[in-house]
Amino acid sequence: MFLLKNRFRSTEFARSMSTALDSSKLKITKTTSPKAKLPNEQLVFGKSFTDHMLTIEWTAESGWGTPEIKPYGNFSLDPSSCVFHYAFELFEGLKAYKDKKGEIRMFRPDKNMERMNKSAARICLPTFESEELIKLIGELLKVDQGFIPDTRGYSLYLRPTLIGTTAGLGVSSPDRALLFVIASPVGPYYKTGFKAVKLEATDYATRAWPGGVGDNKLGANYAPCIKPQLEAASRGYQQNLWLFGPEKNVTEVGTMNFFAVFKDASGKKELVTAPLDGTILEGVTRDSILQLARERLDPAEWTISERYCTINEISSKSKSGELVEAFGAGTAAVVSPIKEIGYRDSTIDVPLLPGEQFGPLTKQVADWIAEIQYGVVESEWSRVVNW
Ligand SMILES: *Cc1c(COP(=O)(O)O)cnc(C)c1O
């Protein structure tokens, strides 16, 4: 017991002695062959990248190394690196925006850093000082500022990633890691602005389970989800909607949290999303929508609920006219209206405003968030990059 305790202490000690992530050590090497920038209408999500990337190596022995901004390019890794064999990988997704004054803004980057550290701790990859990485991402944004579109609806998608790079096939805690950030200019998820999607409810496969890792943004959570999505696509649906358990609780979409709006006979409305019970990815967009809804919707008219609803509740409320809206929420699409949910042999219809691709609350929350992201409305959620 004593020995164990001491051993734990000395590991803690070694970690605290190892170098912290330090943005002041940043080294910048600029590209000598800048890429041509694509016109906005040719941007495809995650297909083209900026001229530079941020990389930081970590070793158990000496901690975080020198942060570097350098030309975007290939890595050279040993084929036995643990990331290739045991999925020591996690990622984040956030966006940078240019406001009307030309200033660069990030939307709630502290939330992404917090979640990234949580994912890292879960798979024994190194944690880091959140504010230091935010500063470093700010430096990458300055170097690649020419790639940040300045049109409303367009932004620069940032992909911070952390991988274990220890060479060797032993299954153990990585003693080497690489943190990198790449950036892709993106447009609206749908060219015509909002376009309501059709989802297929999946109950024959499970995305996440109690005690699992579904609440972490680990690469390992995503590959197994593609097959059910392809099957949904083969039946004409854009995405699948994950159900869980014998009750068939509605959980979330592949990369979006799920929201429904109910309205009862008395006219009282309820905004519902699944609770954070460890099986739901803790979306920054989800959190933002809940906070804004609680602040801005009239409590005499609205209840904001983090609770499960079953697919049967949604189905019966659709039939009775009590289901009035549904949408998905995530960084990539921001808010994505839903018009139909296929479940087994039935179709659950979700109403839209006449002649529109969205319902009223869906449009309202999308506008609230965009106004903050583009700096139209000042908010502490929108972080301006300092020069
Ligand atoms: C990333 C992600 C979301 C959305 O999270 P945001 O922080 O809002 O972008 C929702 N569900 C899953 C499974 C995700 O991977």
17 shares its domain with 128: yes
173 shares its domain with 53: yes
Mutual orientation of helices 360-373 and 284-296 as an angle, nearest 10°? Answer: 110
216 shares its domain with 129: no
Task: Report the pLDDT averaged over residues 365-383.
Answer: 96
CATH code: domain of residue 91: 3.30.470.10
Any domain includes 376: no
Q: Where are the alpha helices (DSSP H) in 76-161?
A: 82-86, 109-122, 130-143
Residues 6+ apart with CB under 8 A from 322: 262, 263, 264
Whole-number Å distance, alpha carbon 288 to ligand 1 midpoint, is 12
CA nearest neighbour of 68 among 51, 53, 85, 47:
53
- Rounded-to-integer distance, Cα 265 and Cα 320, Å: 10
Sign of the CA dihedral running 119, 221, 274, 355: positive
Any domain includes 327: yes
Any domain includes 378: no
Exposure on the CB side of residue 40, measured as CA atoms within 13 A: 13
Amino acid at site 74: N
245 shares its domain with 269: yes
* pTM reported for the whole predicted model: 0.94
Any domain includes 385: no
Tell me the per-residue pLDDT of 21-73, one tens digit each, with 9 for 90 and over. Answer: 999 999 999 999 999 988 888 888 899 999 999 999 999 999 999 999 999 99
Domain hosting 120: range is 2-187
Nearest-10 Cα torsion for 76, 82, 86, 89: -60
Q: Report the nearest-CA residue for atom 1 of ligand 1.
A: 255
160 shares its domain with 302: no
Q: Report the nearest-CA residue for atom 6 of ligand 1.
A: 283
104 shares its domain with 44: yes
Tell me the per-residue pLDDT of 110-169, one tens digit each, with 9 for 90 and over. Answer: 999 999 999 999 999 999 999 999 999 999 999 999 999 999 899 999 999 999 999 999
Count of structural domains within the chain:
2
Tell me the per-residue pLDDT of 3-19, one tens digit each, with 9 for 90 and over. Answer: 444 444 544 444 556 89
- Rounded-to-integer distance, Cα 123 and Cα 129, Å: 17
237 shares its domain with 119: no
Largest pairwise CA distance in the chain: 71
- Among 187, 207, 234, the domain boundary falls at 187
Any domain includes 120: yes
48 shares its domain with 111: yes
- Among 169, 187, 205, the domain boundary falls at 187
Nearest ligand 1 atom to the CA of 112 is 7
182 shares its domain with 203: no
Q: Please calculate the CA angle 25-29-30 and round it to the nearest 5 degrees.
A: 135
- Among 187, 217, 242, the domain boundary falls at 187
251 shares its domain with 309: yes
Any domain includes 76: yes
152 shares its domain with 221: no
Any domain includes 383: no
Nearest ligand 1 atom to the CA of 111 is 7
Amino acid at site 302: W
Whole-number Å distance, alpha carbon 284 to ligand 1 midpoint, is 7
For the chain, the residue count is 387
The mean of the pLDDT values for the chain is 94
Exposure on the CB side of residue 384, measured as CA atoms within 13 A: 13
Q: Could you give the percent of the chain with pLDDT greater than 90?
A: 88
**Cα 181–chain centre separation:** 14
Whole-number Å distance, alpha carbon 219 to ligand 1 midpoint, is 12
- Rounded-to-integer distance, Cα 257 and Cα 63, Å: 35
Whole-number Å distance, alpha carbon 339 to ligand 1 midpoint, is 20
Tell me the per-residue pLDDT of 216-227, one tens digit each, with 9 for 90 and over. Answer: 999 999 999 999
CATH code: domain of residue 229: 3.20.10.10
Whole-number Å distance, alpha carbon 307 to ligand 1 midpoint, is 18
Tell me the per-residue pLDDT of 192-210, one tens digit each, with 9 for 90 and over. Answer: 667 999 999 999 999 999 9
70 shares its domain with 170: yes
96 in Cβ contact with 105 (< 8 Å) = yes
Ligand 1 interacting residues, C-beta cut-off 6 A: 93, 217, 252, 255-257, 281, 283-286, 330-331
Predicted local distance difference test score (pLDDT) of residue 191: 66
Q: What is the DSSP letter of 220?
A: G
